[in-house]
Amino acid sequence: MGQWIILCVGFCVLVVVVLPSVIIRGCNFDIYPPTEQLSSFDHTVKVFVVLQNEICDMPLEEYIKGVVAAEMPASFGIEALKAQAVAARTFTLKRMTANGGQGCSAHPGADICTDHQHCQAWISQDEFKKRIGYINYPTYARKIQDAIDSTKGLVATYQGYLIEAYYHAASGGATDNSEEIWSNPVPYLRGVSTEFESKEPDFRKEVSFTVDDLEKKLDISLKDKKFTTYKIAGKDVQVISEERMDKPIEILEVSKAGRVKLIRVGDKVFSGYALRTLLGLPSTKMTYRITGNKVYITTTGYGHGVGLSQYGANVMADSGKDFVEILKHYYQGIEVIDYKNVQAR
Ligand SMILES: [Zn+2]
């Protein structure tokens, strides 16, 4: 009998104390102060945290705080932070598998990942503290908390359905229609250009590559092959020589807002998106010049240029627009509604 009691106590310790600590190990972040959760569905987001290389379960609204903290400077206007919160919440809900979404295609089993180039950035509260400094932390943490709490449950919809709430850092003067950058036309992802975009910082950046470097990075040749036939000892001998192309680079197609859609570099044609990825460029809004052995590429704006511009949102907030006006500017024809009124897919 005594043995059974010891066994039962041992089992209970294992189940109640040891197992939960194993399950949450590694995902036990310094979590953001809680916000009352949405009640209409399972609001736990399965987040693949790249730094930890594992999937962590996070309550939706706490996860959104980490996204807003990572994605937008907390010094931005409160209405811009609110617009970011609604965009991030909509983007997340649209992807959640519990909600009929596709999840993160790079990390099976996860709804979303923290790789900003794949899904959306997220930082823990500790990282946020380190990033903005302990002195600024209380003010900015409260501001982010306000942005989330005052928009709790609000999402962007088109004809009653959640939208694909794409966003980027800065448009460089104008955003683009979705089909100009990707393949499919989305009715609410239309290019917009107003006084707000022109007041954004343009993020102008020039990068340079040597011809050799560019050839290696893109696996291309910037030289034309020239075949010359000589008669040597009565026989035809073909000699191949290479010389720089007359026009090594050529922009073939640009979007309405001036982003490169197709570009030929040497002997290959790239989409603007592919070139941006391969060369690590901030945007596809680019010009180039070639001087001597160097190719200079100048870009303006930051990010893909579709949907909400974060810096543009801040300009709008500064000029007195509220978060709904900001969202309706960048996502044309949408409504901002409570999540419980969204149409099931
Ligand atoms: Zn992802």
CA 278 to ligand 1 centroid distance, Å: 19
CA 55 to ligand 1 centroid distance, Å: 11
Token reading at 250: 């050529």
Q: How many Å apart are CA 292 and CA 295, to the nearest integer?
A: 8
State how many domains the chain has.
Answer: 2
CA 248 to ligand 1 centroid distance, Å: 36
Asked if 277 and 312 sit in the same domain, the reply is no
Residue where the block lists tokens 């939208």: 163
Kindly tell me the burial class for residue 212, based on how many C-beta atoms sit within 10 Å of its own C-beta (0-12, 13-18, 19 or more): exposed
CA 258 to ligand 1 centroid distance, Å: 28
Query: Which amino acid does the sequence have at 258?
Result: G
Residue 316, in any domain of the structure: yes
Q: Could you say which DSSP state residue 170 is in?
A: B
Asked if 38 and 97 sit in the same domain, the reply is yes
Asked if 82 and 180 sit in the same domain, the reply is yes
Going by their DSSP bridges, the two strands 235-244 and 223-232 should be labelled as antiparallel
Residue 8, in any domain of the structure: no
For each of the chain's 345 residues, which pLDDT tens digit applies?
455 555 444 444 444 444 433 333 357 666 676 666 555 555 899 999 999 999 999 999 999 999 999 999 999 999 999 999 999 999 999 999 988 899 999 999 999 999 998 999 999 999 999 999 999 999 999 999 999 999 999 999 999 999 999 999 999 999 999 999 988 999 999 999 988 999 999 999 999 999 999 999 999 998 877 888 888 888 988 888 877 788 899 999 999 999 999 999 999 999 999 999 999 999 999 999 999 889 999 999 999 999 999 999 999 999 999 999 999 999 999 999 999 888 876
- Give the domain extent around 221: 205-299
Asked if 147 and 225 sit in the same domain, the reply is no
Asked if 78 and 137 sit in the same domain, the reply is yes
Asked if 53 and 120 sit in the same domain, the reply is yes
CA 332 to ligand 1 centroid distance, Å: 26
Cβ neighbors of 278 (< 8 A, separation 6 or more) are: 217, 218, 270
The answer to whether residues 322 and 313 touch, using CB atoms and an 8 Å cutoff, is no
**SS3 of residue 271 by DSSP:** strand
Buried b or exposed e, range 118-154, using 16+ CB within 10 angstroms: ebbbbbbbebbbeebeeeebeebbebbbebbeebbbb
Asked if 295 and 315 sit in the same domain, the reply is no
- How far CA 268 is from CA of 271, 274, 291, in Å, comes to 10, 12, 21
Asked if 334 and 253 sit in the same domain, the reply is no
Asked if 108 and 242 sit in the same domain, the reply is no
